[in-house]
């Protein structure tokens, strides 16, 4: 294979990052070691692949022109993606969208607003389940809180984002001032570390591919040439993907079209998140006979660990103590006082199965559901390098308030940087 050394480097990187997480060091030094190692891998990749461009120290952009012609075969999906992206505009801004979407007739704004709100409230219902099996903290929002419902109605997802960022920043600053442990608001989603290895790689790959395909299809629909597609990595570790439209053609396009192109990626992710949620629920219903009882570990062991027995007693009936031996789906382990779990059964959302192929399908469908939802939402954050950041800048240009758009993106980018640093302290 032409790039066998890069494949081996990727596998070695996952193993080394896993080893770093197990070291008895503070989160800050684990973060520094991880960044230094990934930067070294970036130097190797740059020397190995001449076409790779370094955007920031360690942050690499891989470009390719392959398959651009094949994209034209997907143009019939353009109408659907345009409708979906318009609806997600109102999902993002709520009632404010009726004011902001001045390129649409008022009747269409109302229709899209109703569709956008239906999508948003559906997302609020399934969002907690998208987090249930992942080491990720939610925003603390509640779809049943009257004040939150009003906030969602008025300002859509953007209102939730502002609330969540402000709340997280407040608690991070309080922790830093009081010199207590900072809340782990952000958790990297890495296959083999915080996600199941094979299922995580497959799901992340599919999520990123459909995201970028949607950007590309809408670009071509609006006669904006696509120069290349590619992958964004930190070192050898994938952190995103991209479509590179012709910059001059993109800048000349009307703002409404640019807004819909930017929303194409997050929109298809949110849509597919709901689709895969339905498939996942159907899978749970038809596989009940093969589900096993056990205990799902939420802290203290590798993500996805299921305790079957403790001292040969079924976990749901056992009382663990120092010296207890656990039988898990990942092998035999000794009990530790920092392990936290909850019981699961045949009717649980979290499961494990007596047949390993069912466990693989269960994890894969869950990853496809949850990662589509989470990455679709995250891409709407109004920060640099995110679709939401470009969206906010474009809205500023549409309303001839470009400085306001830049200020919003700058403020939220700084807030995100503070949360990233705080998560490792």
Element (H, E) at 181: none
C-beta neighbour count of 28 within 10 angstroms = 11
pLDDT of residue 267: 97
Angle between helices 356-378 and 197-221 (to 10 degrees): 40
What does the pLDDT read at residue 140?
47
- As a whole number, mean pLDDT of residues 7-21 equals 82
Q: What are the CA-CA distances from residue 63 to residues 69, 168, 225, 243, 293 (Å)?
A: 15, 35, 15, 9, 47
Q: What pLDDT, in 10s, does the model give residues 182-233?
A: 556 556 666 656 677 667 778 887 898 899 889 989 999 999 988 877 777 8
Please name the residues in contact with 292: beta carbons below 8 A apart, sequence gap of 6 or more: 308, 346, 351, 352, 353, 354
pLDDT, tens digit (0-9, with 9 covering 90-100), for 126-170: 998 888 877 655 544 555 567 777 888 899 999 888 888 888 888
- Taking alpha carbons only, the member of 229, 188, 234 closest to residue 209 is 229
Domain ranges of the chain: 4-51, 63-286+365-423, 293-344
- Does an H or E element contain 218, and which? helix 197-221
Tell me the pLDDT tens digit for each residue of 252-298. 899 999 999 999 999 999 999 999 999 999 999 999 999 888 888 87
pTM: 0.80
pLDDT of residue 193: 61
> What pLDDT does 1 receive?
43
Mean pLDDT of the chain: 84
Residue 292 φ then ψ, to 5°: -115, 160
DSSP code per residue over 232-298: EEETTEEEEEEEEE-HHHHHHS-HHHHHHHHHHHHHHHHHHHHHHHHHHHHHHHHTGGGB--EEEEE
């Amino acid at each position: 294979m032409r790039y066998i050394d890069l494949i081996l480097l990727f596998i070695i990187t996952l193993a080394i990052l896993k080893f770093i997480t197990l070291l008895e060091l503070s989160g800050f030094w684990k973060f520094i070691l991880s960044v230094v190692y990934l930067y070294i891998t970036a130097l190797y990749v740059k020397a190995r692949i001449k076409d790779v461009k370094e955007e920031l120290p360690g942050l690499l952009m891989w470009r390719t022109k392959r398959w651009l012609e094949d994209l034209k075969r997907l143009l019939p999906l353009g109408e659907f993606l345009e409708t979906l992206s318009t609806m997600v505009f109102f999902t993002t801004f709520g009632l404010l969208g009726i004011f902001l979407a001045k390129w649409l007739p008022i009747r269409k704004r109302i229709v899209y607003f109703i569709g956008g709100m239906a999508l948003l409230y559906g997302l609020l219902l399934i969002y907690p389940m998208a987090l249930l099996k992942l080491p990720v903290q939610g925003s603390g929002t509640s779809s049943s809180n009257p004040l939150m419902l009003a906030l969602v109605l008025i300002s859509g997802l953007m209102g939730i984002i502002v609330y969540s960022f402000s709340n997280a920043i407040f608690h991070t600053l309080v922790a830093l001032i009081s010199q207590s442990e900072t809340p782990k608001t952000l958790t990297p989603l890495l296959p083999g570390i915080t996600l199941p290895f094979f299922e995580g790689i497959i799901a992340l790959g599919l999520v990123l591919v459909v995201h970028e395909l949607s950007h590309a299809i809408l670009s071509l629909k609006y006669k904006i040439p696509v120069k290349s597609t590619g992958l964004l990595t930190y070192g050898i570790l994938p952190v995103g993907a991209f479509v590179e439209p012709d910059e001059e053609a993109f800048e000349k396009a009307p703002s409404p079209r640019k807004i819909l192109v930017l929303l194409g990626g997050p929109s298809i992710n949110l849509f597919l998140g709901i689709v895969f949620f339905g498939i996942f629920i159907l899978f749970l219903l038809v596989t009940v006979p093969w589900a096993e009882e056990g205990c799902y570990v939420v802290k203290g062991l590798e993500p996805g660990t299921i305790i079957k027995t403790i001292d040969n007693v079924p976990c749901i009936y056992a009382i663990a103590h120092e010296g207890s031996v656990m039988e898990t789906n990942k092998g035999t382990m000794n009990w530790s006082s920092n392990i936290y779990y909850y019981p699961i059964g045949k009717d649980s959302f979290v499961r494990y199965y007596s047949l390993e192929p069912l466990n693989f399908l269960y994890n894969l469908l869950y990853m496809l559901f949850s990662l589509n939802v989470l990455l679709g939402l995250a891409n709407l954050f109004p920060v640099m390098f995110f679709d939401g950041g470009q969206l906010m800048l474009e809205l500023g240009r549409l309303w001839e308030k470009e400085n306001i758009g830049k200020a919003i993106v700058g403020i939220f980018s700084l807030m995100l940087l503070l949360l990233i640093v705080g998560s490792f302290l």
